[in-house]
Chains A and B, each alone.
Chain A
Amino acid sequence: MRKGKVWICLCLAFLFVLPLGIAYAQEKPIKIGLQAPITGQWAYEGEMAKNSVEVALQMIQEEGGILGGRKIEIVIADDASNPRDSALAAQRLVSQRVAAVIGTYGSSVNEPAADIYEANKMIDIGYGSTAVKLTMAKERKYFFRTCGRDDTQGQFFSEYSVEEMKARRIAIMHDNTTFALGVAEEAKKALKQYLDAGIAELVFYDAITPGEKDFTPILTKLRETNPDVWYFTGYFPEAGLLVRQGRDLGIKCPFVGGNAAINEDFIKIAGLDYAKGCLMTQEPMPTDLDTPKAKRFLELYRQKHNTIPTSPWPVYAADALFALAFAIDKAGSTETDAMLNVLRTGMEGCDGITGSIGFTDRGDRRGIIYKMYVVTEKGEMVVYNP
C-alpha cells in the first residue's frame, strides 16, 4: 500500500506540474510561430528554415521593424515530420497565443496542423507543403502558402520538355515521398494531351526508395527504355547518386531535376563533372533575382552560416515571415481578422526574396512562374538558354 501511495503522489505531482510549463505570461514582442521538422528525417530542412527565418527577421529589424519598431519573437515548434507531433506542435503554438504561424514542411504533416490552426482561427503560412489537395480538397480560410504547387511545376516540365526540348520519349522518376510523387503525378497528367496527340511517349514511370544508395537496377531499366529526357522529382541526396550512377551506366539523355533535386549539395554528391549540364525546373532563385532584398538575404545567410540554403523551401519560410510582417504592419495590429484581410486583398507592394508575394482566393501563392535552370561548368545555376 505504501508503495502505491508514493506512486499516486508522483502521478498527482506529475499532472499538476504539466500545465505549469506554459504559464509564462506573454510580453510585448509579437510572437510568430515557426513549425518545422527540427528533428527526424527532414531535420536539415527544419534547420535551414529556422536559419532563414532568423535571417529574414534580422532584415526586417534592420529596416526598422513593424508597428513602429515592435520586436518580433520567433517561437519554434518541432514537428519531427510526423503527423502526430505536428498536431501537438500546432496545439502548442495555439496555446502560446502566437500571432500567426509559419509552417510547415511536408504536406501530409501540414494537414492535421492546418486543421488545428483553422479551428483556432490562426493564420498559417505553409512554406514547403506543395500538395494540391492542401488548398483544394477543402476550404481553408486561414491557410496560405508561399511555395508553389505540385501541379504548376509538373505542368511546366511537361510543356517545356515536349515543346521546347522536343523530347519524344519521356522518363519520369520519383521517390514516393509526398512532394516528389505529387509533382510526378501532375507532370504525368499534363503530359496526357501530348500522349493522346501521339507526339510524345511516357516510356518510364517508376519510383526509387529514398534513403537508398544503389540505384543501378532501376537505372539499367531506364537505360533500356532509351529516353530523350529524364525527369527526377525527388530530392538532391538521391538525385546526385542517380546522375552519377546513371551516367556511369551510359544514360546520355538530359537529366532534369525538380526544384528539390539540384543545389550545391547535389553538385557535391554527383561531382561537378557529372552535375554540369543538368537541368532543373525551378521558381526564380534568390541567386537569380536581382532585387536588393534577395542579395541582402543571401549575403546575411552566408555570413551567418557560411553557406546558402540548399533547397528552395527555407527561402519560402523567410518569405512567409515577410508576408506576415507586411500584413501586420499594414493592418496595424496582430488581430487575425485584420491580418487576414490584408493577406487576402491588400498584398500589393509586398516584396519577398522570391519576388512579389500575393495569394489567390484559396490561399495559394499568386503568380509563381517556373523556369528551366542549368548547372554551368563552374557549378553555378543559371537560366537555361540553349
Chain B
Amino acid sequence: MGKGRGTSKFSLLAIILLFCLYPLFSNFYWTDVAFFFGVYALLGLSLNIVLGETGLFDLGHAAFYAIGAYITAILNTLYGIPIIWLIPLSAIGAGLFAYIVTSPIIHLRGDYLCVVTIGIGEIVRLALINNPFGLTGGPNGITGVGRPSLGPFLIDSPTRFYFYVWGILVIVIICLIRLQRSRIGRAWNYLREDDIAAETSGIDVRHFKLLAFVMGAALAGVAGNIYASKLMIVSPDTFTFMESSMLFCIVMLGGLGSIPGSILGAGIITVFPEIFRIVANYRMLFFGGALVLTMIFRPGGIWPRKREALRLQVSNIDDVKGKVRGKLKAIDKSQNMKKTTSKNNSNEPNTIGNHILTTDKLTMTFGGLVAVNEFDLAVSQGKITSIIGPNGAGKTTVFNVVTGIYKPVSGRVYFEGNDITGLKPHKIAELGLARTFQNIRLFPNLTCIENVMAGLHHRMNSYVLSSIVRTESQRAEEKWALEIAMHWLEKTGLGDVHDELAKNLPYGKQKLLELARALSSSPRLLILDEPSSGLNDKETEELMVFLESLLEEQNLTILLIEHDMNVVMGISHWVVVMDMGMKIAEGTPKEIYNHPKVIEAYLGREE
C-alpha cells in the first residue's frame, strides 16, 4: 500500500514539475494552446459538477461562461474594477443567474431539461447580441477589458497567463477533489444514480440539483473571467450552442464524474484541432469522426472515475473495524442522542393510541384508475405489520403515498401523530421513516459503504465550505458516518465487501444492502416492500431472524408487503389484507389465515 502511494506521489510531482517547465521549452503559441487547455479544463470541471457528478443533462453551459465573461468585461470597462476582484464577483453573478433560471425548471427530467438548457444558452447569446440597455455592446462585444494583476505583478505575457490559469486550476482541482469525497459530492452522486432512492433516503433532491447548477455556473463564471482578461474582448460569437456541445464532449470524453477525465477531455478538445491544423479544411471532419470512434471504443470515457475506497480519509480501515466492534454500544448511545435532539423533548415516541403510523381514508388515483380507495391503516408501535393482497391490489401505492413519492388525492397520513401528508420524501425520511423498494433501487456505481452512508446524509451537517476546508467537525462527522455505515454493513453480513460496487453484488446481497441503507438512518418505522422476494429459503430464514432481532435492539416498528406466507405468518403481529385498493380484512395472522374474504380474494369466489 505504502509503496503504491509513494509512486503515485512521485508521478504527481513529476507532472507538476513538467507543467512548470513546459513554457521553457515551448513557444508562445503552444503556451497559449496550453492556456486555453487550462480554461477549458476549468469549464470541463464546471460542467462535470452538473453533468458528471449530478447527472443533469446540461447543453447550455456556455450561458454561464458568458455571464461570467460579460460581468467581468462590463464592470471592468465601466467602473475600472480590477480583474482579480472580479473573479469572485463573476462567480457569484453566474451562480446567482444559474439559481434564478434553473429553479423553475429543475424538476424537469432528462431530455426535457436538456432542451431547456439549450434554450437558456440560446436566449443568453441572443440577448447579448441584441444589446439590452446598451450594456453588452451587441455583436461587436466589449473591447478593452483589462489584464489581471497580482499586486504589482501584471499578468500579460502568455507564460504568465499560463501559470495564472494553471495555478487557479490547481486550487480548483483540490477543492473539487475534497468536495467530491464529502457529503456534498456523495449526495450529487446519489442523485445521478437514482434520484428517487436518494430522495427517500433523505436527500433534498431539489436543493442539491440546484446546488450543482450554482456551483457549476460559478466555476464557469471564473473561467469566463479568465477568458475575458486574456482576449481583452468578449463577444457573443464565443458562447454558441457549439461551444456548449464541446463542453459536453469534454466531460463525456473524459468520463462522467472524473476530475482527471475532464482535464484530459479538455486537453483533447483544445489540442487535437491545433495538431490537425495541417489539414486545415478537414480538421473538423477528423474531429467529428474521432468523437464517434471514441464513443464506440471507450463509451465510458477515456479516464473514467474509479470509486476510491473511502478508507483514504480515515487513517486505516482495520483500525475502524476494531473500533467499531469496541464502540458498538457507544454508537447506539450516540444514535439515541441524535434521535432525542432531532425530535421533541420527550424520549417517548409520540403516537396515537400506540400507533406509530396511521392513514385516514387515503385515496390515490392514476387517471381514471383508483389504485387506493379510502384506505385506513394503523401500524402499532414496536410491532411487525404486514400488508398482503393479490397483485395490483395497491399495496406498493400505499407505500409510495406514505413515503411521499405520490401525493394522495384525498385522505391523510399521520406519523407519530404528525400530519405528513404531501410532505416531500426527504422530509419524511428525516422524520424517521425509511424504506426499501420492490425492485431494488441502489446506487449501482457507488461502493456498498457509500450506499449505506446515503441513509446518514440527513443526519450530517457539513456543507460546501466545511467540506472544502475539511474542518475538524467535518472530519469527525465523516468518521462517525463511516463507522455507523460499517456497523450496519457488518450487521447485514456485508462487512467484507464494503468497497465493492453495489452493482457487482449478487441479488440477495443487494437486498441486504438496501436494508442496511434504510437501517443506517436509525428510523423508527421501517417500510419493506417484499423483502424476501428472490431470496432462497435459507436467506429468507436468516432475514426473518434478523428483522425480529431488530425490533428489540433498535426500538423499531416494521411495516412490510410480502407474498411469502411463511414470512407473513411467521413474523407478523398484525396482518392487513388489501384487494382492489381497499382493505378487506385485518387481524392477527391466525385470524387472517382462515378469513373467508381473504381466501376469496386470492383464490376467487367459489361458485
Contact = CB atoms under 8 A, between A and B. Distances in A.
The answer to A–B direct touch (Cβ < 8 A) is: yes
B140 A182 contact: yes
B135 to A, nearest CB: 15
Contacts of B283: 39, 78
Contact of B32 (A82, A87, A111, A177): A87
A19 B11 contact: no
B158 A91 contact: yes
B284 A81 contact: no
Contacts of B275: 21
A87 B231 contact: yes
A133 B139 CA distance: 13
Contacts of B138: 176, 181
Contacts of A112: 231-233
Contacts of B8: 1, 4
Contacts of B238: 82-84
Given A19-B27, A78-B277, A91 B32 contact: yes
B24 to A, nearest CB: 10
Interface stretch (B14-22, B492-500, B542-550): B14-22
Interface string B281-310: 101100000000000000000010000000
B280 A76 contact: yes
Interface residues of B, number: 45
A280 B14 CA distance: 63
A119 B406 CA distance: 64
Interface string A178-213: 100110000000000000000000000001000000
A15 B16 CA distance: 12
B27 A22 contact: yes
Given A91-B28, A94-B29, A1 B231 contact: no
Main secondary structure of the interface of A (DSSP, over half): helix
Contacts of A108: 139-141, 233, 235, 237
Contacts of B36: 84, 88
Contact of A39 (B7, B27, B284, B303): B284
B391 interface: no
B130 interface: yes
B144 interface: yes
B538 to A, nearest CB: 40
B32 A83 contact: no
Interface stretch (A5-13, A220-228, A244-252, A336-344): A5-13
A39 B237 contact: no
A78 B280 contact: yes
A82 B62 CA distance: 14
B539 interface: no
A109 B237 CA distance: 9
Contact of A176 (B26, B139, B144, B156): B139
Interface string A62-92: 0000000000000011100111100110011
Interface string A95-121: 110000000000111011001000110
A19 B143 CA distance: 31
Nearest to B240: A82
B220 to A, nearest CB: 15
Contacts of B284: 39
Nearest to A110: B233
A94 B33 CA distance: 13
B364 to A, nearest CB: 48
A109 B144 CA distance: 14
A368 to B, nearest CB: 21
Interface string B138-179: 111101100000000000101000000000000000000000
Nearest to A38: B280
B2 to A, nearest CB: 12
A138 interface: yes
Contact of A111 (B4, B7, B27, B143): B143
A95 B27 contact: yes
Contact of A15 (B22, B141, B232): B22
Given A22-B27, A39-B283, A111-B231, 12 more contacts: A8-B15, A14-B267, A18-B26, A19-B25, A38-B281, A76-B280, A81-B237, A83-B238, A84-B231, A91-B32, A112-B232, A137-B144
